[in-house]
Structure 1
């Protein structure tokens, strides 16, 4: 007898392929999915299988009526950092002002100091504990930004830690260099000097060492101007790295239009984006990454213009923005609910935001994000009656299995 053509065949359940089409979930009821060499080899209705399951695959897995989606993708996190900012959060709730907190050494400067002081291994271990709930919710791909080092060695240390985080947890990690996150204390009076450091040393070295998959920046009144951001984008382009941008979170700085001009993978936050910025994003194919956790924690009142994005056909992704200051969120499923409740996405749009559109935001649309032949066999298996439940329940996870590259993935410790 010839060798079975497939490594594993899943059947006896339902598939939410998330492929674009008439059905918002790309539903295949009574579906089957086969993997070979880590990739999806066949997908369709079980009734259409080209033979007996046991003759088609070395291993046959019964789904017992469960649902399968692509592995979830958290496409915007700051998961690697030293310490936390619980104390200042409590201070704010007790009436302290941001000025009071800054005078006491709080704010981003605290995260910078703690991250600079932390050994690389400590950063990896802390981040692994931090993302464990995400893995338990079916996350198989994670983006991690630097931006709490704000000098060459510490920024590179953060990026190395992010690479190690992927290797040690077994998930796919994409890294973004966010050295243009804030001015470090030692450059408070020398903006030009810090931008020169970012553009002439940090970006080139991160590119040379292949530690960064993209370059990000914070274009905002409390961050960097559009003109300063463009210098960073030019450096990224010179070194062959795509760009992303924290844009229009607190005010309109024209960042979305600038990022679109550089073919940005994504613009993130976007509460104050204008029609001109959206038009530019639509022309460039730039993904809008919505971050309801930060909107919630900061008690913002102006939501991103979702209806305008929808009308322009701009892909919308959803992410946790996991960070110590404004979104200590360790549940992507909760973000799906918040996106529906606070931003008025549909459950299907929210799930697309953590699969298909999140993959686009990372430049990985050809690799992950939908269940289609040829793509990586990264799966999440759910004990639900319908996919909308993934955005419905508050708390807990209905995920009963993860698959990475066709292989069942261990639950995090």
Structure 2
């Protein structure tokens, strides 16, 4: 006997395994048994516990495949600047952007960040998102990157939403390494990645491969090192320029290459 039934569904959007596409069914009910969909039909097996959907649309939970949820304060002012034509690079050159968030995350306690991230997850869930890929990357030193991933791990355990963790120590060059970027890459490869893998708090390893951030060679090194340790590669690729990052993503077997606003035809083919 199902433990829950959803009734009065106007339209149900689901996946059709035969056509491998979207399927829309009208005026159906859903029976759920112990958290698993047991039956979909015009009249499903009965149970006393039911939710009246009042003729609304029902969909599977949304999946957000690219998020950076571990930060203290928003950067809405920078969004307004972007709308006025100021570039991402210009904002970063003035100490804004990623580095602006890094300052806050480094000084924040783990409990402060857990509270902020939990609140954001409440909002995600309200809007129908049930799974999110969750990157670190606003710590940019070993302690703060580990802290960020621990926050993701703790919220994932306590919240209804599913959070899939990505280590992104290679999100930007921190100020203390601005004149020695290869030394920061050494830190990622020799200290951060081993610490992340030892604690088992990430599934993926992401790099921002872009002019002013990480070069092709640096990105290859970081992604290969992570892959050797069992972390699946991901990339921020060709966002501002065609740097060849999409081709590198294919080379290292990245599960995703995100942004791609300036990807070349060769990058797409790769």
| Residue equivalent to 1:28 | 25
Of Structure 1 and Structure 2, which has the larger fraction of its residues in strand? 2
| Residue equivalent to 1:198 | 188
| Residue equivalent to 1:160 | 150
**Could you tell me how far 1:149 is from its partner in structure 2?**
0.7
Quickly say closer, same or farther: Cα 1:261–1:7, change in 2 above 3 A: farther
Distance in 2, matches of 1:74 and 1:189, equals 35
Contact 1:11 1:46 in 2 (8 A): no
CA displacement, residues 68-125 of structure 1 (integer Å, 9 cap, x when unaligned)? 1111111111111133334555677789888986676433322111110010111121
Give the root-mean-square deviation of aligned CA atoms: 2.6
Q: TM-score, normalised to structure 1's length?
A: 0.59
| Residue equivalent to 2:179 | 189
CA displacement, residues 330-366 of structure 1 (integer Å, 9 cap, x when unaligned)? xxxxxxxxxxxxxxxxxxxxxxxxxxxxxxxxxxxxx
Q: Are 1:42 and 2:39 counterparts?
A: yes
Q: TM-score, normalised to structure 2's length?
A: 0.88
| Residue equivalent to 1:293 | none
CA displacement, residues 207-262 of structure 1 (integer Å, 9 cap, x when unaligned)? 12111121111011121111111111111111111111111111111212211232
CA displacement, residues 21-59 of structure 1 (integer Å, 9 cap, x when unaligned)? 65953112222322223222233x325x5xxx22xx463
Distance in 2, matches of 1:23 and 1:176, equals 28
**Could you tell me how far 1:66 is from its partner in structure 2?**
2.0
- Pairs within 5 Å for 1:109-258: 109-258=99-248
Q: Secondary structure at the match of 2:6?
A: strand
Match of 2:96 among 106, 109, 113: 106
**Could you tell me how far 1:12 is from its partner in structure 2?**
3.1
Quickly say closer, same or farther: Cα 1:164–1:279, change in 2 above 3 A: same
CA displacement, residues 156-184 of structure 1 (integer Å, 9 cap, x when unaligned)? 00111112222343211111111011111
Q: Secondary structure at the match of 2:240?
A: coil
Provide the aligned length of Structure 1 versus Structure 2. Answer: 269
Structure 1: tracts of 5 or more residues without a match: 281-413
Greater relative contact order, per chain length (Cα 8 Å cut-off, separation 6+):
1
Q: Are 1:7 and 2:8 counterparts?
A: no
Distance in 2, matches of 1:224 and 1:104, equals 19
Contact 1:200 1:235 in 2 (8 A): no
Moved more, 104-113 or 270-279: 104-113
Distance in 2, matches of 1:177 and 1:97, equals 26
| Residue equivalent to 1:263 | 253
Contact 1:206 1:212 in 2 (8 A): yes
Quickly say closer, same or farther: Cα 1:215–1:117, change in 2 above 3 A: same
Structure 2: tracts of 5 or more residues without a match: none
Distance in 2, matches of 1:63 and 1:100, equals 48
| Residue equivalent to 1:80 | 70
